[in-house]
Each structure stands twice: as structure tokens, then as C-alpha cells.
Amino acid sequence: MSYASIVRPAILLSLAHAVAAPAADFPTKPIRMLVGFPAGGSTDVLARQIGQQLTQSMKQQIVIDNRPGATGNVASEMTAKANPDGYTVMMATVASHGINPSLYRKIPYDAIRDFSPVTLVASYPLVLAVNPDVPAKSVRELIDLAKAKPGELRFASSGSGSPGHLSGELFKLMAKVDVAHVPYKGGAPANIAVLSGECQFTFATLPAMMPFIKAGRLVAPAVTTAKRSPALPNVPTIAEAGLAGYDVSSWAGVVAPAGTPKPVINKLHTEVVAVLRNPTIRERLAAEGAEPVGNSPAEFSAFIAAELTKWAGAVKQAGAQVD
């Protein structure tokens, strides 16, 4: 047997171990999870709940890094350009990886090419939430009020092109009403605008709205999905309330920069899915109106592709465009 035939396999084996070792040891330092919205919004709340559990199970701190701006574009660009080593991930949303690529004339990332999907964490309906001082406690009453006062009612959203914005535009289109859209920099300030009466209503995620609905500080005439939410079983859908065919949902999931090693992606996937299978976490998310998912990276990738197609049609129908 030649010297080369002995040494060469040994070198290859050594290299294989060198490549595999970082993934096997991962993580060895804190992981940054970017969130494209301010603290207090539904995406932030979800990221912190998942991050807290991952900190315990992975024995490394999950640092939530809020980078609001352009409904997730700022955080998405930062993630796309980050070192693909698993130590920077993002809580992607329907805005950043579904709507924005069609909404913005120019976007600093490619929602498919620049990311490695890990798993879809949760999906949830939006809820139509109305300030209790508004004399409209049902969808029909809100439509009638809007028709009686064209252009006077205002609905808040977390930003132009956000799910809340497009939900409102679809509502306007289907109900044939004239209401004004007021965009804010995130869900939390939009919610405050409705709570204070600065705006009359909003379409927002259930996790963010539930505390205010339960406290009676906001009225919930309907949810946006085709089926009722288990978190609000007595609240009808907008379709049930008179706008047949109305169906909008939101979601959030973990993605990493493209090129992140597959063993690292698999490790992140295993850890996040384990958190989502925790009965306490599932109950907590369900109580907030969120449906835990935890699909495979391949399934999440296909889901993102389908969402991009769906929302491209919705953006075109609404005639929405952001420079």
C-alpha cells in the first residue's frame, strides 16, 4: 500500500471532521434573532417567547434585536448580508417574505435566494379591532358608518403594505367604502393610535390585540380568516359577517442567511420544533390566537414561494406600491 493511499484518506477524514465539528458543537456563543418591528408588536412577542425557550434548551442566549423599518425590509437586508454561520437568524413574516417583494419597487434582498428557511413557527388570523367609542359594534355597522361618513374614518396599520394595510384595502374594496389608511412604524404604535382614538379601527394580529379585547379597551367585531379562531370562538369571520370570500391570515417563521450549513439549519430546526411541541408553549400561543406549526425547512421554503405568488396578486388588486 502506497504512502499516498494511506495519507490521502486520513487528510480527507480530518477535513470532514473539521467541517462537521462546528455544526456538532453549535451553538458556542449567543445567537442574534432579528425582528423587523418594534418591541411590543406580535412578531416581537412571538420571537421573545421562542427565544426564551431556546436560550434554556440550547444553553446559549438568544438575543432579540429589533430593527424596525419598511415593514421588515431593514431586518431582512441585515439577515441576508450576515455571516451564514447560524449565529444570525430572523423572525421572518408574511410582510418581509410574502408581501414586500411585490409591494416595493426596489427591495434590498431576494426572499428566496438570500435565505435558508428553518421552520414556519406560527400562523394566525388578524382581527378587526375597533375603538369602543366608535358607534359600530359589528362589521355591518362599521360599513354603514363608513358609507355615511365617506373619507372620515381612519384605520391604522403597522406600515404601508403590511398585512394590516392590505387587509384594510381588501375590506375597502369588497365593502365599497372610503376610509383613510394611516401607516405607523410597527404594530405597537398602530395599536396605540386606535386605543387613543386617533384612528377608529385596525386589522392586527390576535396575539397583540387579545389583552386589549379581553380588557374591553377594544371591540372585536370579526376575524379575517375563513374560519373562526379558537381564541375567540364567539367572534364571527368577516366573511360570515357579510363579505363572502374575505380571507386573510398572517404568519412568522425562522430563516437564516443563504449558505448557512445544512447541519446548522437542521440543529436550529430541531430546537425550534421542540419548543413548539412543548404543551405549555402550545397552550400559550393558542390562547393568544396563534397556531403553532413547526414544518420542515423544505416545506417552509415551498410555503414562502406560494405566499409570494398569492400576495403578488393581492398587491396588484389593491393597486398598492411603495417607492
Same domain, yes or no: 169 and 276: no
Same domain, yes or no: 193 and 294: no
Same domain, yes or no: 19 and 59: yes
Q: What is the CATH number of the domain that holds 188?
A: 3.40.190.10
- pLDDT at res. 23: 66
Alpha-helical segments (H) within 116-175: 139-148, 163-175
- The model's pTM: 0.77
Same domain, yes or no: 151 and 201: yes
Helix, coil or strand: residue 117: strand
Q: Is 266 part of a structural domain of the chain? A: yes
Burial label, 156 (beta-carbon count in 10 A; 0-12, 13-18, 19+): buried
Same domain, yes or no: 216 and 258: no
Same domain, yes or no: 142 and 167: yes
Same domain, yes or no: 88 and 70: yes
- pLDDT at res. 19: 45
- pLDDT at res. 319: 77
Q: Name all contacts of 305-309 with Cβ < 8 Å and 24+ positions apart.
A: 305/112, 307/94, 307/97, 307/98, 307/251, 308/97, 308/98, 308/101, 308/102, 308/111, 308/112
Domain interval for residue 270: 6-124+250-318
Domain count within the chain: 2
Per-residue pLDDT of the chain (323 residues; tens, 9 = 90+): 544 454 454 444 444 444 444 567 899 999 999 999 989 888 998 999 999 999 999 999 999 999 998 889 999 999 999 999 999 999 999 999 999 999 999 999 999 999 999 999 998 889 999 999 999 999 999 999 999 999 999 999 988 778 898 899 889 988 999 999 999 988 889 999 999 999 999 999 888 898 999 999 999 999 998 889 988 999 999 999 989 989 888 899 999 999 999 999 999 999 999 999 999 999 988 887 788 999 999 999 999 999 999 888 878 877 778 87
Same domain, yes or no: 311 and 217: no
Same domain, yes or no: 196 and 119: no
Q: What is the CATH number of the domain that holds 14?
A: 3.40.190.150
Contact 107, 75 (CB under 8 A): no
Same domain, yes or no: 159 and 303: no
- pLDDT at res. 18: 41
Same domain, yes or no: 197 and 259: no
Q: Is 1 part of a structural domain of the chain? A: no
